[in-house]
Amino acid sequence: MKITDMNTMTVEVPMRRAHNTGVRATQRIFVIVRVQTDRNITGYGEATVLKEWGGSHMRYYGESYRTVSHVIRDYLCPGLQGEDPFAIENIHTRMDRIIKGHPYAKAAIDMALYDIMGKALNVPAYNLLGGLVRREVPLCHSIAFMLPEAAVAEARTVVEAGYRCIKIKVGLDPLRDVETVRQVREAVGPSVDLSIDGNQCYPTPKTAVRILKQMEPYNLLFAEQPVEGVDAMAAVAKSVDIPIMHDEGAWTPQDVLEIRDKGAGELISLYTTKPGGLFNAKKVAAVCEAAGFRCNVNGSLETGVGNAANLHLAASTRVVSLPCVVPVTAVEGRYPIPFTYYLDDIVKDSFEYHNGALVVSDAPGLGIELDEEKVEKYGVR
């Protein structure tokens, strides 16, 4: 089998409500990649681009939908035509030789190749990633910046719908942060896991330590990336009892080794996108396991294409033992729970939701079917 062509489609699916964080706006414009082969098998992937977001101290760089479309159209597509989609390591090597960086563009192609391989073999993508570890992927619901009262109302709603884990965005207003954590903990009780995500927004380790110590009585599962930089994270990790998770600072296996060597935390947020796709994400996961780090799979509010890849990664990776921060994919008119992030999706079917978890599909490849009418409807020109 050979790759014959690939093209991109840009979409913006309407959001149910704003999802404000400390570092980026809520506009969500994504690139869907279609990879075609000479066996008439087509695969789909997604670049969940974030131009405002990158590694600590600009170690990595943001990508916009225009950047991704340009890189795929003008560099990666010409360089990969004629390649065997099953030669996944060779393809990643070729992509890295063609252009350095740009992991979101590469991740979209990688996902599409796993979709193709699964369809060709008539197996779900998780069987190509190590096999099924868990059929149901427990979820953690992310609460954006809002008043404490609104956060409490949303937390109660998702707990009633079966969620057992909640993450609260923090980092811009310390008083609001501590008060929101307090009120949400009191509202949901001790049996629901509660965590916070600073998105590197606390200005110094001392600031972060002071605020996290005020949150320690509320039994947080972890504090995600309160400050920027591995040395700053190490200073925080050594000063508080709350487990520290790395997100913006953990993209590659080398990042994970540096975090371990500097004693900068205990947990890693694993993505399909930051390493450049599913293939490289499994490498990051292996290093995390060897280093003794637990992981979740974290996302960036993907559409159903990217979220399918999230589920196949989580379902096939043992070290992913924490609830995953990924969307509940649902098409218009069929919301399995309140507070889905989007009012619609570009895949034809909602994902199966069961008591706070998403069920990974057994269909071949990523297990999704693109709704071409929705792609056209939500297309960005």
What structural domains and CATH numbers belong to the chain? 3-122 (3.30.390.10), 127-359 (3.20.20.120)
Q: What is the pLDDT of residue 337?
A: 77
Per the prediction, the chain carries an average pLDDT of 95
User: Is pLDDT at 52 greater than 90 in this prediction?
Assistant: no
pLDDT tens readout for residues 160-181: 999 999 999 999 899 999 999 9
Q: Which amino acid is at 29?
A: I
C-alpha distances (whole Å) from 278 to each of 55, 234, 363 are: 19, 28, 18
Q: What is the mean pLDDT of residues 90-94?
A: 98
Lowest-pLDDT choice from 4-13, 60-69, 177-186, 283-292: 60-69
- CA 2, chain centre distance (Å): 29
pLDDT beyond 60 at 26: no
Q: Band the pLDDT of 61: cuts 50, 70, 90.
A: confident
Whether the model pTM is above 0.85: yes
Instruction: Give the pLDDT of residue 24.
Output: 58
Cα–Cα distance between 152 and 296 in angstroms, integer?
24
Q: Is the pLDDT of residue 107 over 70?
A: yes
pLDDT, residue 3, reads: 98
Paired tokens of 360: 């990974």
Instruction: Report strand pairing: 42-47 vs 30-37.
Output: antiparallel
pLDDT, position 346 = 98
How confident is residue 293, by pLDDT bands cut at 50, 70 and 90? very high
Q: Which of 166, 218, 158 is nearest to 194 (CA)?
A: 166
Question: With bands split at pLDDT 50, 70 and 90, how would you rate the model's confidence at 28?
Answer: confident
Confidence of residue 12 (pLDDT cuts 50, 70, 90): very high
Which of 22-31, 107-116, 129-138, 208-217 has the least mean pLDDT?
22-31
pLDDT, tens only, 242-285: 999 999 999 999 999 999 999 999 999 999 999 999 999 999 99
Q: What angle do helix axes 103-121 and 278-291 make, rounded to 10 degrees?
A: 100
Q: How confident is the model at residue 23, as a pLDDT? A: 62
Q: Give per-residue pLDDT as tens, 313-367.
A: 999 999 999 999 999 999 998 877 777 889 999 999 999 999 999 999 999 999 9
CA-based angle 242:198:224, to the nearest 5? 45
The fraction of the chain above a pLDDT of 70, given in percent, is 98
